[in-house]
Structure 1
């Protein structure tokens, strides 16, 4: 079935993805592993579009697994997604191909040819408005920046892996190891702070949405009173909120700014609900004892033994 996903036919792809989700109910580990191997593409044989289709199938499978998405399956998925989303991803074959194309461009330039590929040329229409031409130049720069550089992972693949990671957090955050959840949030914060170039806009959008998914998952787990084994400390919340506030004010992508404002608002609401819940729990207990007196206000007997009065002849 993996070969069918590689076909550039939407109808076939949708049918195959549906079969993958049904197989995951019976054989979750082998199904997820098959999708992960093709999505990671360690041997660098598949195109970016093909890998993205496997990513779409992986999202559907994770959502289908629901609360059974935990243990070894969740660990393998999250570790693979973090390895793709990180900046340390290295693809040597892609790097060699890029070096070959760079040498060809340099040779063409030395012979007096054009420095750009034929496919990258933009139509030069004198009647085109200056603003439209500027927009086309920006879009060309962004699309060129998406491609792998110096053997690094494609920006579209990194954004896709973060999107899948956000879906996994919302689906069943309890089934994911706390260290992996912490690594995912830290990675997203670093992406927002360090990768500020215009071509990384889609990556920052995905990073903001992962943090939003994390906040939603925490709130949902607390509302359902399910123990997580970890939480968001006040110091961590303040650091994340400070970074997002800065991004909302200074980022060069309007959608990233809007997402950042939404997450800041969500974190603020989450903090307010936490304080209110603690206050309600504290007042619900009421008075339990009076200082200086051994009095039981709830009607139960005091822990101390009561004095006995005996008649002595």
Structure 2
């Protein structure tokens, strides 16, 4: 039982990172119904940005976190303006293929400039931990929980309480009606990409510190797992992305601890298949009928 509780804490810390990435998937899909498969590579750029600003500029954790969020947010806007905006009226399959292409462009451009070797971080957080009965929480896990909680609260406040948040909800509900109400759809979509990519940047520095490494292909598998988390929770649902990310992180950690680490990825994709069979809309999603 003690080991189970400890693995649960470890799973929640890993799941928090997945949740931050999943939020970007679900926000973009909620606005323009696009699965942005380049999102995992934006998270990878966040990890590399953290490596550069901490190694060569000596920034501490908090300033590095803010820089990563801004850099990745701007990268998300650039991707949207160059790759997705011209295809907004195109069939969805065209945009999907473009997203996969953008993913490969980011990965191999990073390999060209950074090489394929693993980059390690300098010490950014104290090597400290606290014990509460059978549970040990490290300082890093505390930071991951805190950053995820603060960012999710801020995201909720932005969406629910601000003018741009109301515009995002209006565009998500009906793009044409939003235009008639004087809302700039282009700016709203760009802001959504900025927000989602900034969260991916935060996840990038957190996972970089968590594993103490950054590689050009590090965004592929976690990006897919975050997508599974978004689908599990109900893609387009922000609470669903949070719950899905935490659930996937816990499942992966428990499988590694009690089963075989070779099967942790298979379990995640098995969950995706079950969700699509049993409840295609996800836990918090709503089934929508489409006219054919």
TM-score (norm 2): 0.31
Higher relative contact order (CA 8 A, sep 6+): 2
The structure number with the bigger radius of gyration is 1
